[in-house]
């Protein structure tokens, strides 16, 4: 039994080493990708439900690997988060989104808000407001058109620190959204204290509309609660006309989802935006 135990341990250790090695390889490849400009932002339209018009976009990062092709953020964002790479990566995302937003403004395209994801680790840094101010100053993009998405769970992690950072960000004039709302554990008391403008209903609650009555009740409650607090509510992951109709009936303000468009490269998003402009 002892020998078997030891063998099992060796096997386990070997597996660990291999997983650690793979992680390291991926990490150094990602570091290089960042330096060599192999990251790109795709943009997913955010639609005003009442008018059907594009009023914003969420910037979502992709890794364009010369060998593997497009790598999903689900594969590298968690790694970037634990390795600390998320800080330079997040700074690049902010700078690139602001640069692109300003280029669209300069081209006379309809004014939209650009939403950028902020990771828990970025929120923990005290210099996040300075980094945002720098991205705005360097690009000339307007603070009021920049929206920062922070997950509900990141806010709960270190509540007092997070609250201070949110106030500093808000003082810059940017808009603040709680991402994946409904999956964390903010109390209503906490929610009331956040200087936020937007709640994003997590796509997990939207997915099974109109079949899951609990999810429908939760989505409706988030819209009502958000409105009672003076917030705008956006539903994510809207894939069907039925889902959109249900959300419209609840008075939900905006949506994002495959029903209208997947996240697309900047040039393609620009075409969508151009088609919106009055002819």
Q: Which residues bind ligand C2E (CB under 6 A)?
A: 44, 60-61, 72-74, 77, 90, 93, 117, 119, 179-180, 203, 236-239, 256-258, 263
Q: Which does 226 bind (CB under 5 to 8 A by kind): Ca ion, ligand C2E, none?
A: none
Q: Terminus-to-terminus CA distance in the chain, angstroms?
A: 79
Unique residue bearing structure tokens 């988060």:
81
For residues 43 and 264, the answer to whether their CB atoms sit within 8 Å is yes
> What is Dmax (Cα atoms) for the chain?
79
The interface region with Ca ion, picked from 33-41, 101-109, 143-151, 249-257 by CB under 5 A, is: 143-151
Interface mask (CB under 5 A) for Ca ion, residues 158-187, using x and -? Answer: ---------------------xx-------
For residues 6 and 53, which CB has a smaller minimum distance to ligand C2E in the complex?
53
The interface region with Ca ion, picked from 9-17, 23-31, 141-149, 187-195 by CB under 5 A, is: 141-149
Unique residue bearing structure tokens 């280029």:
103
For residues 183 and 190, which CB has a smaller minimum distance to Ca ion in the complex?
183
Residue among 264, 149, 145, 124 at smallest CA distance from 202? 149
Q: Which does 96 bind (CB under 5 to 8 A by kind): Ca ion, ligand C2E, none?
A: none
Task: Tell me how far apart the alpha carbons of residues 41 and 95 are, in angstroms, rounded to a whole number.
Answer: 11
| Residue 152 touches Ca ion, criterion: CB under 5 A | no
* Binding-site member from 149, 152, 215, 253 for Ca ion (CB under 5 A): 149
In sequence order, the 6+-apart residues with CB closer than 8 A to the CB of 93 are 39, 41, 59, 61, 116, 117
For residues 204 and 251, which CB has a smaller minimum distance to ligand C2E in the complex?
204
Task: Tell me how far apart the alpha carbons of residues 62 and 56 are, in angstroms, rounded to a whole number.
Answer: 19
For residues 209 and 236, the answer to whether their CB atoms sit within 8 Å is no
For residues 31 and 264, which CB has a smaller minimum distance to Ca ion in the complex?
264
Helix-then-strand count for the chain, H and E: 12, 10
Q: How far is the CB of 180 from Ca ion (least distance, A)?
A: 4
For residues 45 and 57, the answer to whether their CB atoms sit within 8 Å is yes
Task: Tell me how far apart the alpha carbons of residues 201 and 260 are, in angstroms, rounded to a whole number.
Answer: 17
For residues 73 and 110, which CB has a smaller minimum distance to Ca ion in the complex?
73
Token pair of 200 as six digits: 């994003």
How many residues bind Ca ion (CB under 5 A)? The answer is: 4
| Residue 117 touches Ca ion, criterion: CB under 5 A | yes
Q: Which does 77 bind (CB under 5 to 8 A by kind): ligand C2E, Ca ion, none?
A: ligand C2E
For residues 77 and 191, which CB has a smaller minimum distance to ligand C2E in the complex?
77
What residues make contact with Ca ion under the rule CB under 5 A?
Answer: 117, 149, 179-180
């Amino acid at each position: 039994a002892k020998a078997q135990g030891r063998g099992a341990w060796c096997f386990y250790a070997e597996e660990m080493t291999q997983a650690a090695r793979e992680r390291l390889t991926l990490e150094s490849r990602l570091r290089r990708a960042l330096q060599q400009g192999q990251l790109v932002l795709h943009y997913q339209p955010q639609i005003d439900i009442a008018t059907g018009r594009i009023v914003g976009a969420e910037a979502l990062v992709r890794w364009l690997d010369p060998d593997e092709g497009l790598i999903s953020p689900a594969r590298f964002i968690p790694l970037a988060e634990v390795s600390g790479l998320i800080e330079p990566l997040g700074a690049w995302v902010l700078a690139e989104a602001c640069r692109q937003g300003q280029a669209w403004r300069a081209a006379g395209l309809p004014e939209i808000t650009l939403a950028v994801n902020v990771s828990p680790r970025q929120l923990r840094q005290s210099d996040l407001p300075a980094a945002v101010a720098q991205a705005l100053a360097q690009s000339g993009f307007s603070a009021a058109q920049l929206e920062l998405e922070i997950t509900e769970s990141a806010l709960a992690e270190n509540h007092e620190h997070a609250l201070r950072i949110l106030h500093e960000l808000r003082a810059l004039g940017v808009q603040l959204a709680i991402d994946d709302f409904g999956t964390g554990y903010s109390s209503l008391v906490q929610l009331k204290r956040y200087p936020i403008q937007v709640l994003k209903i997590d796509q997990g609650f939207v997915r099974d509309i109109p079949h899951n009555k609990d999810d429908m009740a939760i989505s409706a409650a988030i819209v009502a609660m958000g409105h009672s607090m003076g917030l705008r509510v956006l539903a994510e992951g809207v894939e069907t006309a039925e889902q959109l109709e249900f959300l419209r009936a609840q008075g939900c303000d905006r949506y994002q989802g495959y029903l209208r468009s997947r996240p697309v490269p900047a040039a393609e998003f620009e075409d969508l935006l151009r088609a919106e402009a009055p002819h």
